[in-house]
Amino acid sequence: MIKNDNYLLITNADVRTWQYDRPTLCLGAWCRNYDNSEKWANLNPSILPYHWEDRDKLYKDYRYLHKVYESLLNETSSKLNELHGTVYSTRYWRILIGPWLLYFTEMLFDRWESIQAAINRYNITSTIILDFPPEMTIPKTMYDFRNKFVSDEWNHAIFAKIITGWTNIAYDYIKHDEQNTIHPTGTCRFNRYSLGRIRGFFTNLLLKTAKNFSRETDAVLVATYLPFFTDFLLQLSLKQIPIIHHTEAAPNIGADLQLRNSIQTTAKNFEGFENCIRTLLFQNIPTLYLEGYYALREKVKKLKWPKKPKIIFTSVAYNSDDVFKAWAAQCVEEKSHLIIGQHGGALGSSLISSSRDHELAISDRYLTWGWTLENPKQYPVGILKQLCKRKARWNPSGLLLLVTSVMPRYSYILGSYPVSTEQTEKALNDNYIFVQELNREIYKLLRVRLFLPDWGWNQSKRWTDIFPDIILDSGKSPMEASLKKARLVVVVYNGTVLLETMSQNIPTIIFWDQKYNELHPDVVPYFILLEDVGIFHKEPVSAARKVQEIWNNVEMWWKSKKVQDARNAFCAYMAKKPRNPISVLKNSLKITDSNLDSQKHLQI
């Protein structure tokens, strides 16, 4: 415990809240942007150790927050039914507001824990708060929320609410000046699904015409993650006219602060964090779920979609597409079956995954890329993005492609990956160590593919400051374009790319720090197989040495029996490609009430 000095608390990277003439404590390394490193050096602050650096605490909190979330969901569902005069089930509200409530619960707890840790370790006497208008930080939709929570403004406002409502820290307000606002550190691009590249006039005309022949009970496929042609063939196999459904933008409704302040919650019955979140929940809920709910329902009524589809299948729209969620939730109330497809590579291999928990909770069936983790809802079909795609091309005499990643500077949803600025910085440093270990011949053929969005990391400048002559791939072109130029791909995070390259039989080397990428026990044996043949490495130097060992004959190493046996075993579980994908997909969509009764029995 450090109580000797009186500290000014700094919560974010906005230099307007900094003072240079007294001891300062930064809540985390997110207070330092790469662009303000010089001012940071002049500040010379103390930095609070991050509470989830203890990964055992992360897992324990993950289990605790799951229980908190379920309680909040039940309470919020009842309150929203009361406010809107509806009688919808908890599942309806789980589909509609669940993603926001889950994110908000886990993010608020992270901010709460940081504040409490700072108070317990340091003698904090004051802080400076920017007086942001409440409307500036209240999201309108889930998509708007995902853009806000990566910004310094939104996080500063949340920290300020905790400080002013639940601590004795003195604070001074600075009037907010919109001209000096820190803009969001990169638009959140989580829901970057595509409906394909076929955008021509005749195709759109055909699809619009097809809607005239659809039936009210036809299966609805939205943002499935399937290649366009696979989606098309799947709908034909279901004996229906293939249709691509486009949802509409959600209503843009402003916040009614008087309404929000009048809503009574159960906060007074709780203490600490659980009091805090119940107090702040209706102050921060997206306007679409409160003030704009009537407009949302009217928008759904006007959708020219089937009203009673037997099946709804999506891999992405369930998260941030509020119009889709409201429509799907309504259909589920009328006994439609909701099927969710896996859309991220780490969902089947991560020990911790709040995203996976939510997807399983809202779905009647969950289509995986091959794995099953003892849940009767899971149905392995294969890697959706690759089904029916032609074999990928790669160049045996081409480049070395390093595929990198960054996470938002502020934690958002819990998972087995770097969840803080400090942890992401360690991962970036491992990337630099890897490159430093390469010999000059290979370095000249290196291309570093940057991650999008940048989220304020300034990745390009970080790389060129260390390696002035390095060649960077901005990440703006399709991944396929980068892969086909590569002799060898090095992937430094647990995600979709490594499953794509492995399933397409593209030579791949993987490395990451296991401390921040905990694997589910069921998949550990498959990564051991990859480690035994030199594909998977636990630190950058080992990976770099393997690259140099095989560089002059990557193809011979990759096509060797031991490497291919390991790859095949891994892909059979993590990223399989069935021989008859349309048939497999068609069978996966066959779901009946008796199936569901069986699932419920197995889950008890």
Nearest-CA neighbor of 273 among 117, 393, 91?
117
Tell me the mean pLDDT in the region 207-215: 63
Tell me the mean pLDDT in the region 228-236: 92
Residue 125, classed as helix, strand or coil, is strand
Task: Give the model confidence (pLDDT) of 297-310 as tens digits.
Answer: 999 999 989 989 99
Among 103-107, 191-195, 260-264, which is the least confidently predicted range?
Answer: 191-195
Give the confidence band of 178 by pLDDT, cuts at 50, 70, 90: low
For 324-362, what is the HEC assignment?
Answer: HHHHHHHHHHCCCEEEEECCCHHHHCECCEHHHHHHHHH
Tell me the mean pLDDT in the region 354-365: 97
Is residue 448's pLDDT more than 90? Answer: yes
Tell me the mean pLDDT in the region 485-512: 96
Task: Give the model confidence (pLDDT) of 334-343 as tens digits.
Answer: 999 999 999 9
- pLDDT computed for residue 482 by the predictor: 94
Is residue 470 a contact partner of residue 448, using CB atoms and an 8 Å limit? Answer: yes
Contacts of 525 (CB under 8 A, 6+ apart): none
Question: Helix H segments across 470-532?
Answer: 479-483, 496-503, 524-532
Task: Give the model confidence (pLDDT) of 53-109 as tens digits.
Answer: 999 999 999 999 999 999 999 999 999 999 999 999 999 999 999 999 999 999 999
Cα-based distances in Å from 436 to 54, 516, 552 = 29, 22, 19
- pLDDT computed for residue 591 by the predictor: 83
Residue 207, classed as helix, strand or coil, is helix
Tell me the mean pLDDT in the region 387-398: 81
DSSP 172: E
- pLDDT computed for residue 206 by the predictor: 53
- pLDDT computed for residue 209 by the predictor: 58
pTM: 0.93
Tell me the mean pLDDT in the region 525-546: 98
Query: Cα–Cα distance between 208 and 241 in angstroms, integer?
Result: 11
Is residue 31 a contact partner of residue 11, using CB atoms and an 8 Å limit? Answer: yes
Report the chain's C-alpha Rg in angstroms: 25
- pLDDT computed for residue 3 by the predictor: 58
- pLDDT computed for residue 207 by the predictor: 54
Report percent pLDDT > 70 for the chain: 90
- pLDDT computed for residue 576 by the predictor: 92
Region class of 340: left (phi > 0), else alpha (psi between -120 and 50), else beta: beta
Encoding tokens for residue 263? 């809503």
Nearest-CA neighbor of 190 among 495, 514, 472, 421?
495
Please report where in the chains the tokens 């306007």 appear, as a residue.
Answer: 287
Is residue 235 a contact partner of residue 114, using CB atoms and an 8 Å limit? Answer: no
Residue 23's Cβ-side half-sphere holds a number of Cα atoms within 13 Å equal to 12
Is residue 419 a contact partner of residue 53, using CB atoms and an 8 Å limit? Answer: no
Encoding tokens for residue 208? 């619009």
Domains, the chain, ordered by start: 399-574 (3.40.50.2000)
What mean pLDDT, rounded, does the chain reach? Answer: 91
Task: Give the model confidence (pLDDT) of 537-555 as tens digits.
Answer: 999 999 999 999 999 999 9
Is residue 458 a contact partner of residue 34, using CB atoms and an 8 Å limit? Answer: yes
Query: Cα–Cα distance between 296 and 289 in angstroms, integer?
Result: 8
Encoding tokens for residue 222? 């939205």
Is residue 191's pLDDT more than 60? Answer: no
Query: Helices (H), strands (E): how many in the chain?
Result: 25, 16
449: β partners: 403, 473
Is residue 152 a contact partner of residue 185, using CB atoms and an 8 Å limit? Answer: yes
Query: Cα–Cα distance between 381 and 378 in angstroms, integer?
Result: 10
Among 284-288, 480-484, 490-494, 563-567, which is the least confidently predicted range?
Answer: 480-484
- pLDDT computed for residue 594 by the predictor: 54
CA torsion, ordered 154, 159, 160, 166, to nearest 10 deg: 140
Task: Give the model confidence (pLDDT) of 164-176 as tens digits.
Answer: 999 999 999 998 7
- pLDDT computed for residue 602 by the predictor: 39
Quickly count: other Cβ atoms within 10 Å of residue 170's Cβ: 11
Please report where in the chains the tokens 């896996």 appear, as a residue.
Answer: 342
Q: Would you call 333 exposed, middle or buried from its count of C-beta atoms within 10 A (0-12, 13-18, 19+)? A: middle
- pLDDT computed for residue 215 by the predictor: 85
Encoding tokens for residue 211? 């809607």
Tell me the mean pLDDT in the region 113-130: 96
DSSP 520: P
- pLDDT computed for residue 37 by the predictor: 82
- pLDDT computed for residue 4 by the predictor: 62
Contacts of 299 (CB under 8 A, 6+ apart): 248, 250, 251, 323, 326
Q: What's the longest Cα–Cα distance across the chain?
A: 76
Is residue 597's pLDDT more than 60? Answer: no
Query: Cα–Cα distance between 3 and 20 in angstroms, integer?
Result: 19
